[in-house]
Amino acid sequence: MKESLARSHGSQCGFCTPGFIMSMYALLRSSELPPTEEQIEECLAGNLCRCTGYRPIIDAFQVFAKTDDAFYTNTSSSDLQSGEFLCPSTGKPCSCKSKGLNGAETCKKSTANEHNYEPVSYSEVDGSTYTDKELIFPPELLLRKLTPLYLNGFGGLKWFRPLKIQHLLELKAKFPDAKLVVGNTEVGIEMRLKRIQYKVLISVAHVPELNVLHVKDDGLEIGAAVRLSELLQMFRKVINERAAHETSSCKAFIEQIKWFAGTQIKNVACVGGNICTASPISDLNPLWMAAGAKFQIIDCKGNIRTIMAENFFLGYRKVDLTSGEILLSIFLPWTRPFEYVKEFKQAHRRDDDIAIVNAGMRVFLEEKGEDLVVSDSLIVYGGVAPLSLSAVKTKEFIIGKNWDQELLQGALKFLEIDIFLKEDAPGGMVEFRKSFNT
Ligand code: FES
């Protein structure tokens, strides 16, 4: 990888190089099959380079991409014998994973004998091989049993890790101001960089009720602690398995999740944290609202209430949650035939940047004679107000109207009334931002 990067002029000052290498390594190490060009580009998102531009870096790593099926065997995990797995280092079946602790040795031996295989990552610099240096995930960490934790830190900081919802609710009753964390991607920044002090932190990453991911007849139930990567995977799965008209929202979410946060962050950041942070430029909250999602909220006594996402956001980083309540799960309904959900995001940079303006839009059309008439709709903008803002007047205008060019022109006028930005609006660029709404 290093050699390919250097030969393609993908490394200059070298500051970003370790990050790119590690991202690529993680992809190769965890993929069962050689990745596609698109997967490689996706895995590199989250790494920024100020020297080279990205073309030489992407070109350097495209040598690992599977571009032509004819060059590969058809081995996949379904072809494997019991006890075997597809070794990410060799692409061949082997048993090194099941033998565990000395994986690299086993793998090298078995594949070399059976398939006359030579390691592909030979280093011309020190003569060592990739497999000689292969690190494995520490087995102790894999084998360790999960236990509830209670840790004390500096300045009276308390950190809890409950494993049951009942224990979590008891902690929340005892410490109403406790901050819940999963990947710590928001709270960590607040504490380290903004110097915000939280006395009690509760890690909810392992509470089963917050990690559900159920496909139901009428939609998808998503636990609040489900990681963004898991959610992305589930969306991709249901798109393949369900009728196309049902997954318009899922497709919009996939597109929107693609542009924010690198894979490393998506692997640990959770859906509920992203929602409850209630950022006015949240990329997903306008979509939850537009898609008609419902949030389930549980209080310390175990009572559950449901609220439409549309009504959950009350003001700048303010949501409809009392100190004794937590977000339990999100329900995303399937879209109906002739119901469409679409995302929008404009930022300075395509990947990994906060939005200047974003939006989630839904329209449900009904056939009336020859015409298609708007039966229901919701258009929500981010980046134009202290909270994700629903374009109420535009919605009222378009409902009942024919879906045509005239409707579009009329809607744009109402949008200017709904999305009103003062000259001195925070964030500036008022004319620029308004131009995206119209
Ligand atoms: Fe300098 Fe990427 S090579 S930042």
DSSP assignments along 51-114, one per residue: SS-SHHHHHHHGGGS---GGGS----GGGPPTT-EE-TTTSSEE-HHHH-TTHHHHHHHHHHHH
**The pair of three-digit structure tokens given for residue 212, joined into one six-digit string:** 């559900």
Of the chain, the percentage scoring pLDDT greater than 70 comes to 83
| Amino acid symbol at 394 | T
Q: Would the CB of 52 count as within 6 Å of ligand 1?
A: yes
7 alpha carbon – ligand 1 mean position (Å): 15
Query: Would you place residue 134 in the very low, low, confident or very high pLDDT band (cuts 50, 70, 90)?
Result: low
Cβ of 60 closer than 6 Å to ligand 1, yes or no, is: no
pLDDT of the residue at 99: 43
What's the pLDDT score for residue 193?
Answer: 87
Q: Of the given ranges (224-233, 293-302, 424-433), which has the lowest mean pLDDT?
A: 424-433
> Mean pLDDT throughout 318-346?
96
CA 421 to chain centre: 30
pLDDT of residue 239: 97
12 lines ligand 1 (CB under 6 A): yes
**Cβ 295 vs Cβ 330: under 8 Å:** yes
Q: Whose CA is nearest to atom 1 of ligand 1?
A: 13
Please tell me the predicted confidence (pLDDT) of residue 124: 47
pLDDT of residue 69: 64
Q: Is 53 in the pocket of ligand 1 (CB under 6 A)?
A: no
Q: How far is the CA of 192 from the centre of ligand 1 (A)?
A: 25
- Binning pLDDT at 50, 70 and 90, where does residue 125 land? very low
* 11 pocket-lining for ligand 1 (C-beta < 6 Å): yes
> Taking residues 338-342, what's their average pLDDT?
97
**Mutational test site, ligand 1, from 49, 55, 57, 61, max ligand atoms within 8 Å of CB:** 49
- Dump pLDDT digits (tens) for 42-70: 888 888 899 988 899 999 998 888 766 66
pLDDT of residue 155: 86
212-221, 302-311, 343-352, 399-408: least confidently modelled range: 343-352
Tokens 């005239």 correspond to what residue? Answer: 406
- Name residues whose C-beta falls within 8 Å of residue 195's C-beta, 6 or more positions apart in sequence: none
Query: For residue range 356-409, what is the model confidence (pLDDT) as tens digits?
Result: 899 999 999 999 998 999 999 999 999 888 899 999 999 999 999 999 999 999
Give the range among 181-195, 263-277, 306-320 with minimum mean pLDDT: 181-195
Ligand 1: does its nearest atom lie under 6 Å from the Cβ of 13?
A: yes
Distance 268 CA to ligand 1 centre (A): 26
Cα–Cα distance for residue pair 18/11, rounded to 1 Å: 10
Mean pLDDT of 182-211: 92
How far apart are the C-alpha atoms of 25 and 130, rounded to whole Å? 11
Q: CA-CA distance, 326 to 273, in Å (whole number)?
A: 11
The residue ranking higher by pLDDT, 135 or 119, is 135
